[in-house]
Structure 1
Amino acid sequence: MYSINEVTTVGDELVSSRGTLYERLRELSNIIGNTPVIELRKLVDPSKMARVYVKLEYLNPTGSHKDRIALYMIKDAVERGLIKENTPVIEASSGNTGISIAWVCKVLGLRCIIVVPENTAESKKALLRALGAELVETPNVPQDHPQNCRNVARKLAEELGGVFLDQYSNVANMRAHYETTGPELWKQLGGRVDAFVMGVGTGGTIIGVGKYLRERKGDVLLVAIVPKGSPVVGGRLGEHIEGLAESLVPPLFNNNRHIIDRVIEVSQEVAIDTIRKVIREEGILAGPSTGANIYVALEIAKELGPGKIVATVAADSVWRYPELIK
């Protein structure tokens, strides 16, 4: 299906090659992260509700919070000697992580193969191709099916001698948010975070940020969000909210589930209706998974009441979903 050139660079040339990769990775680390937070003012009544803050992760270079984990996972693989300049980098992604990985690979000069479910937005697939990624499309099937995108990606890596980053179980994913997103949010809100609400795609954000916050505020409420019917809550195939776990239980989330206080299901309809309202009322130009995040954040804000602070994340941009703009 694919061919790959044999790696023949050895000795000083290989050291030089890795040095170049490290230099480029350092350059990328300077432009990823440090995104702003914004308070919801029209959808929140502070006399009856907690204040709600949204971290605008769509202001990262490729337009999503996945830039953070792409950098961390690839850097980790380079440091462990798994990636050299001729090594194919392979990932299973519904779009955002794939785009971020394709972008990092383009900057580093690495070959990139992304395995995507067939229901991934056409705009995301077009962007992946524009970044030079090779696409493999798979049916949207449960995690135990051999054609599930994660299983296909793993097999490709074995066949090609490539690196399967596996965002769903890669601890560098969680570490990216523990070391960057969490500290940024804590500082931006002056150490006042009473609840953190986040959708589960891989679980990296809710677990990484959640661990950081819990270490500093033991009673912080950690709320995970999944699509209605997700395997995370015992279903087989959840409703489609792009970027959230609809067909598998991410190992990264499952292995750290003990720190999560609640898991809440949100329907596709509610997620889309909410983000349209958020765009109209607050001017936050985010995608449907952010609609799910903000819907639950508002519910938690009502529960906690005045004087408290709820934080969540705008994971990606509405410009990836032009069909939502009506």
Structure 2
Amino acid sequence: MRSAIGALRREAARSADTHLLHQRFPAFPGIDFYFKDEAAHPSGSLKHRLARSLYLYALCNGRLGEGQRVVDASSGSTAISEAWFARLLGLPFVAVMPACTAPGKIAAVRALGGACDLVDDPSQVYARAAWHEAQGACHLDQFGLAERATDWRGNNNIAESILGQLAREPHPCPSWIVCGAGTGGTSATIGRFLRYRGLDTRLCVAEPAGAAFAGGWQAHRRDAVARQCTVIEGIGRPRVEPGFLFEVVDEVIEVADAQSIAAAWLLEEVLGRRYGGSTGTNLAACLLLAARMRDRGETGSIVTLLCDRGERYAETLFDPRWLAQHGIDPRPNLAALRATVLQPGA
């Protein structure tokens, strides 16, 4: 156990913090946008931090032994990061994934030496992961443990990192931080840290339209379920996961899938590289908040996350044929975004 914990601590020291990219849009004078590039992590996504924390949590609680098989349920990015750390520690890893997961993500898990247990019904991934646990695997349980595995008071969590990087910026205390909610761990960490530091920054969760967290937060019901499905992987859960903390979230903005994809396409034009659909969801929510601030005559800054690499979605969200098969045409939304975001005085 000591050697595994030491390996994880050394990896954390080697992994430089991710960049905070600055952007201004002509349509929003006086409002600075910041994008925390979590796709720059060695395993390519925001989930790198979570995966490290989950392994440490399992090791320090005595749940993970030497050579033990590891399992978790994931729609892709968490599984890739967990497979990356399993290889680092020399452990066998199984990802329980919906069969509809983007092929690029499945290939990435396998390339890292992990196995993929593909489930036709996405709602059954939890039960299938529990089955593996019953066979002797250590269940990392991102959905059950994400909000407690990360030390929200510090230790280089994402909220502490963002605020440290903003310290010398014109608006060091952002008006909003925007993130999606998959496990709920990131929103819990950020929301708790903002309150711990006594900041006026508000937390917005960007959610695919009709997903469970939006309905649950609005009605304050933990038994809420999704009203419709989404093609945006990693967020838009069918149920309210245990890690979702209603009380630390100030607003939830629902975003249609076509709008999320269009925003991801726009971001490629602005930043010069691709990011996934959940990043598009984040950007769409940021733009709505910025429009409200502009209309009220407010200035300030908005921070959001670049969640994972867009190359993972080359066969889905960035493939016109795949989009046509799913009845999604983001081009009208993209044209509207260009007109309203990139034009002065929009």
Matches within 5 A, 1:203-214: 203-214=184-195
Alpha-carbon distance, 1:141 to partner: 3.9
Matching residue within 292, 308, 311 for 1:316:
308
Residue 280 of structure 1 deviates from its aligned partner by 1.0
Using the alignment, how far apart are the partners of 2:176 and 2:77 within structure 1? 25
Matched with 2:337 is none
Within 5 A, what are the aligned runs for 1:151-170? 151-158=127-134, 160-170=135-145
* 1:311/1:221 CA distance change after superposition, 3 Å: same
Gaps of 5+ in 2: 216-223, 320-346
Change (3 A) 1:107 1:236: same
Q: What residue is the counterpart of 1:248 in the other structure?
A: 239
Residue in structure 2 matched with residue 181 of structure 1 by the alignment: 158
In the alignment, the residues of structure 2 paired with residue 250 and residue 168 of structure 1 have an alpha-carbon distance, to the nearest angstrom, of 6
Q: Which amino acid aligns with 2:27?
A: D
Give the direction of change, closer, same or farther, for the CA distance of 1:88–1:176 in structure 2 (3 Å limit).
Answer: farther
1:139 shift after superposition: 2.1
The verdict on how the C-alpha distance between 1:166 and 1:177 changes in structure 2, with shifts beyond 3 A counting, is farther
Within 2, Cα distance between the matches of 1:86 and 1:221? 43
Q: What is the alpha-carbon distance in structure 1 between the residues aligned to residue 232 and residue 281 of structure 2?
A: 8
Alignment partners' CA distance in 2, 1:166 and 1:80: 13
Does the aligned pair in 1 maintain the 2:264–2:277 contact within 8 Å? Answer: yes
Aligned residues: CA RMSD:
1.9
- What's the TM-score, normalizing by structure 1? 0.86
Among residues 288, 299, 303, which one is paired with 2:288 in the alignment?
299
**CA–CA distance in 2 between the matches of 1:310 and 1:117?**
33
Greater mean deviation of Cα atoms: 217-226 or 289-298: 217-226
CA distance in 1, matches of 2:16, 2:51: 12
Partners of 2:277 and 2:247 in 1: CA distance: 27
Q: Deviations over 1:72-105 (max 9, x none)?
A: 1101111111111221111000000000000100
Quote how far apart the aligned CAs of 1:308 are: 1.0
> Whole-Å Cα distance in 2 between the matches of residues 214 and 304 of structure 1?
22
Deviations 1:205-237 (A, max 9, x none): 111012112322443211112211112224344
CA distance, structure 1, for counterparts of residue 192 and residue 78 of structure 2: 22
The answer as to whether partners of 1:174 and 1:207 remain within 8 angstroms in 2 is no
- Residue of structure 2 equivalent to 1:45: 27
Report whether the alignment pairs 1:215 with 2:191: no
| Map of 2:327 onto structure 1 | none
> Are 1:225 and 1:266, in contact at CA under 8 Å, matched by a contact in 2?
yes
- Match of residue 99, structure 2, among 118, 121, 128: 118
CA distance in 2, matches of 1:136, 1:73: 20
Give yes or no for contact 1:89–1:162 (8 Å, CA) kept in 2: yes
Structure 1 unaligned blocks of 5 or more: 1-17, 143-147
SS at match of 1:197: strand
For 2:47 and 2:16, how far apart are their aligned partners in 1? Answer: 10
Matches within 5 A, 1:135-154: 135-142=116-123, 148-154=124-130
CA distance in 2, matches of 1:97, 1:226: 18
The ranges of structure 1 where at least 4 consecutive aligned residues each deviate by more than 4 angstroms after the TM superposition are none
Inter-partner Cα distance in structure 2 for 1:250 and 1:177: 22
Alpha-carbon spacing, 1:192–1:271, altered in 2? closer, same or farther (3 Å): same
Contact 2:152–2:193, Cα closer than 8 Å, also in 1: no
What residue number does 2:338 align with? none
* Residue aligned with 1:241, SS: coil
In structure 2, what is the Cα distance between the partners aligned to 1:45 and 1:286?
22
3-state SS of paired residue (2:192): helix
- After TM superposition, give the deviation of residue 201 of structure 1 in Å: 0.8
Partner of 1:13: none
Give the deviation of 1:156 after TM superposition.
1.4
SS of the residue corresponding to residue 144 of structure 2 reads coil
Aligned to 1:271: 260
Distance 1:280 1:237 in 2: 30
- 1:169 aligns to what SS in structure 2? helix
1:177, CA displacement in angstroms? 8.9
Mapping 1:69-108, distance limit 5 Å? 69-108=50-89
Q: Given the two structures, how large is their TM-score scaled by the length of structure 2?
A: 0.81
Q: Which amino acid aligns with 1:29?
A: A
What's 2:14 paired with?
31
Contact residue 265 and residue 274 of structure 2 kept, 8 A: no
Deviation digits for residues 160-205 of structure 1, max 9, x if unmatched? Answer: 2221111112034443796421111001111422111111111111
Q: Is the 8 A contact 1:178 1:208 kept in 2?
A: no
